[in-house]
Every structure is written in structure tokens, then in C-alpha cells.
Amino acid sequence: MPELPEVETVMRGLSPVWLGERFTRVTLHRGDLRRPFPDGLGQRLTGAIVTGCRRRAKYGLVDTDRGDTMILHLGMSGRMRVDPDEIGKHDHVVFETGNGRVVAFNDARRFGSLDLVATADVDAHPLLAGIGPEPLGPDFGAAMLAVAFKGRLAPAKALLLDQRIVAGLGNIYVCEALFKAGIHPARAGGTVPAIKLKRLAEAVPAVLMDAISAGGSSLRDHAAPDGTLGYFQKTFCVYGREGEACPKCGTTIARIVQSGRSSFFCPKDQR
């Protein structure tokens, strides 16, 4: 599933295509993806001018001059294809704008979603209500992590993946950030010392910014709207590198399974 850097890459790619433009036609080739589309989605968007393309957690938000915001989730395999040569069978929603551009929401597995809500009510929508601070925003830091981790028996990795604590983090970037901070993924959150929480508060945004600069990680389906693949996977320190040498100390990278997800770490450097 696309994580924060991949969604950020997609929204940055859509912004120059959509921002300030009018949707002249929105065509739905089916009535649902993960769940049914909102009633009248195509009609409500047709004629609207895009006033914002932004991200919240793992969701893309497209604001319009009608006071509506489209909430976009890419699911497992969703892609936004700009000016495709042809519309294929998995291009389930097609957006046309007044500048002659075409964007197709392509989703082979159909785990993505589109919702349309009043912009004023976006933060209270069930998909976004209760989500924690953005890791690239001013509310994220060592003090916030200290409060969230205090007294917790849950593993550090599980706490970071909890969207109520931090928004948008997923398995890949949590593994990489924990490595940089020297924290074992299974260590109880309440036992992580302050010095390592400080390192973690620095590692999380650093990893995310590096990933965004690289266009995200293209492991399966992710690509920018122009079709460009991300290449951050080429610089992974631990994720997916079980049995290989740690880039810091040469120790063999290990893997454990936590809540059904693989965690990769260096047994020597992460305690």
C-alpha cells in the first residue's frame, strides 16, 4: 500500500495538472471501488475548479471552488495516470480539464476509494478523524513521541504505525527510521530512552524527505502521475534486506514478523 512519500509524490504530480483548472467532464466507468462512489460524484465535480491538491496522512485531498473536497485513497494498486495514450479497463474514473488534460484513476485490484465531502468537514470525516500529527509538520517531535510512548508496552514499531499517534507512516519507512534511530522494532515503547526518542524524531522526517525526493518507493505498482517510477528502494538500509550486511556495521540484517508484517533490523545496532 502506498505510504506517505508515495501519496505526496502523486499529489505533487497532480498539482500542476489540476490546480486552478476546471473539471469539464468526470466519467465513472463503474459504480464503486472498495466501496460505492458518493451519489452524483461525477455531476458534483463536473464544472468545479480545483483550488487545492494536498495530502493528509495516506490520503490525497483535492479541494474545489464549490466547497467540496475529494478524498482519494490509492489502495493497494491505485495509480493516477496523466494523459494516458488510451483508456484501459482498469481506468475506472477519468477526469478531463479545461486545459485539455486527462487524468485516469487506474486501480486493478479495486482497493482504492474516492469520497466527496464538504471541505469544512474534512477533518471530521471518519477516514481522517482522530489521525495524529503529520510527521513533516510542526507538531511532530521528541516531546510528542515521549508522551505517546510513555508507559507503553506495545512495540515501538506498532506505536509508529498507529495512525492515531503519527499520520501516514507505513511499514517501509518505520523500519528505516527505527534503524537510523538505533531502536529495535520489538522494544517496548515505554522503555525507549529520551536520547533515542530524539534520534527517532529526527530520523522519521529525514527518511520521509529522502523518499519524497526520490519519488517514493516503487516495489509493485507505485508510479508518479507522469509514469516515473520512484527509486528510494535502491537506498533501503534494512527493509527487504534480510541476510544482507548492515550498512553501518556489517552484521547480518534480520527479519521478524510483527502483527503479520515483516520487520527488518540490525541485531547489533538496534536495541
**CA quadruple 164, 148, 213, 183: dihedral sign:** negative
Q: Which residues pair with 262 in a beta bridge?
A: 257
Whole-angstrom CA distances from 250 to 154, 178, 206 are 29, 17, 23
Strand intervals (E) in the chain: 23-28, 50-56, 59-64, 68-73, 79-82, 91-97, 102-106, 113-118, 254-258, 261-265
Kindly name the residue from 2, 155, 185, 225 that is annotated as catalytic. Answer: 2
C-alpha cell at 200: 527517532
Amino acid at the residue 176: E
Kindly name the residue from 58, 79, 157, 180 that is annotated as catalytic. Answer: 58
- Answer yes or no: 56 catalytic: no
Non-local (6+) Cβ contacts of 198 within 8 A are 142
Sheet holding 68-73, edge to edge: 50-56, 59-64, 68-73, 113-118
- Answer yes or no: 5 catalytic: no
Kindly name the residue from 34, 152, 261, 268 that is annotated as catalytic. Answer: 261
Which candidate, 10, 95, 7, places its Cα nearest to that of 46? 95
Kindly name the residue from 3, 6, 21, 176 that is annotated as catalytic. Answer: 3
Cα 64 from Cα 23, distance rounded (Å): 10
- Answer yes or no: 261 catalytic: yes
- Answer yes or no: 58 catalytic: yes
Active site residues: 2-3, 58, 261
